[in-house]
Each structure stands twice: as structure tokens, then as C-alpha cells.
Amino acid sequence: KFVLSVTMMTIVLWMSLPWTAPYIGNTGNVGFLPLCLFLSFGILTKEDFETAFSWNLIYLLGGGHVLGKVVENSGLLYILAEQLEKVLLLMSPWGAVVLITVAVAGITTFVSHTVAAIILIPVVTTVGIHIGVPRLLIMTTILMDCGSMTLPMTSFPNVNSILMEDRKGEPYLKVKHFVQYGGFMTCVVIVLLSTVGYGLNRLVLG
């Protein structure tokens, strides 16, 4: 009952973050709460804490989160977005699509996909309105944001994938697998969105 209660409380707190974030913080702070409670009440033991957690993975994810926060809070991402907007305003719709796919793929390699979308979509919307294809650029940005997968720490599906382990506690996937195969697939998405995707989006979205 206690585990179920804590789990439900955690889910409720996550769902309430749009309203309670100024007081609670982000999802990581909420996720830390059940860990503290389970350790405090003996459901998780010291041995669990020392051996059951993949600390190298936790450090990896934490480092990626810190890197994203530094890029966001330092204003670097906003500066990049402003420079991107200046260049895009001088380009044709197809040129804008190519540049957007490359830029989004690069940015979302190091920054959370959610943060990148929040900052970049207003930029591409403004540019799209100016050159007459707002829906095309918005859809391209969204698809590239979802299709970028070079590193495991910037999107939940990648994080969840790297957490999967075999019976010996060894992860099925390592960072090098994401760099090799995820990087390759990211390049494939760039090419597809710049060619076939551009044609389909123009046909459907105008």
C-alpha cells in the first residue's frame, strides 16, 4: 500500500507540474522524492542503493541534463536561434528546410528535445510566415526534433532504451551504439526530410 501510495503521489505531482513547477521544480525533483521515501522506510536498503543503481548511467544522464541547462540558461541557445533566424530569412523554402533539419539535428544532440522545440518553433514560425510557408517549417522542425537520436540523454525513448539490461546487469545498448547507429539514422532523417519529406509536406501542407 505504501509503495502504491508513493507511486500515485509521484504521478500526481508530475501531472501537476504545469502549475506547481515554480514551487517544486522539474520532474527530476519529483522523481527524487520516492527514492528518499523508499530509502527512509527501508523498502530500499543501503545494498540496493550501492549495487542496484547504474551510477555510470545516472552520471551520464545528469551530465547531459546539466549541459542542456547551461546552454539554455547561458543564453547560447537563444543566440543560436537568433542567428539562425537571420540566415533563414534570406533563404528559399527548400533552403530553409535543409538548414532547419541540420540545425535541429545538431542542437538536439546536446539539448533536450523539449527545450529545443520550445525555443526553435517560435523562430521557425516567424521565418515561415515571412517566406510564406509557416506550416512547412513547423512540421519540418517537429519531425527533425523527433528524429534526432545521436545521444541517449536528450529524449525519453533513448533514455529508456539505454536503461534496459540483461540478467547480468549489463545494458543492451551503450553510448557508442547511439553514436554509431543513432547518428546514422539521424543523417538518414535529415536527407529524407530535405528531399521526399519536403515534397510531401509541400503537397499536403502547401
In this structure, which amino acid lies at residue 93? P
pTM summary value? 0.63
- As given in the structure block, the three cell numbers for residue 70 are 547551461
> In this structure, are residues 109 and 72 in contact, taking their beta carbons and an 8 Å threshold?
no
Cα–Cα distance, 93 to 110 (Å, whole number): 26
Q: What confidence score (pLDDT) does residue 72 get?
A: 66
Q: What distances in angstroms separate CA 130 from CA 142, 153, 154, one per listed residue?
A: 19, 34, 31
CA 171 to centroid of chain Cα atoms: 21
In the block, cell 546536446 appears at 110
Rounded-to-10 torsion of CA 174, 178, 181, 185: 160
Percent of the chain with pLDDT over 90: 13
Q: pLDDT tens digits for 8-62?
A: 988 888 888 778 878 877 777 787 888 888 888 888 777 766 666 666 666 666 6
- Is the CB of residue 162 less than 8 Å from the CB of residue 121? no
Letter for the amino acid at 7? T
| DSSP result, 26-55 | SHHHHHHHHHHHHHHTTSS-HHIIIIIS-H
More reliable by pLDDT, 35 or 97 = 97
How long, in residues, is the chain?
Answer: 206
**Ramachandran assignment for 132, one of left (phi > 0), alpha (psi -120 to 50 degrees), beta (any other):** left
The neighbour count for residue 68, using CB atoms within 10 Å, is: 21
123-163: pLDDT as tens digits: 888 888 888 888 998 999 999 998 888 887 777 777 777 77
- Of the CA atoms within 13 Å of residue 171, those in its CB half-sphere come to 20
For the chain, the domains span: 1-53, 54-205
Residue with the three cell numbers 521526399? 196
CA 75 to chain centre: 18
Percentages of the chain per state (helix, strand, coil), in multiples of 5: 80, 0, 20
Cβ 61 vs Cβ 160: under 8 Å: no
Q: Is 123 exposed, middle or buried (0-12, 13-18, 19+ CB in 10 A)?
A: buried
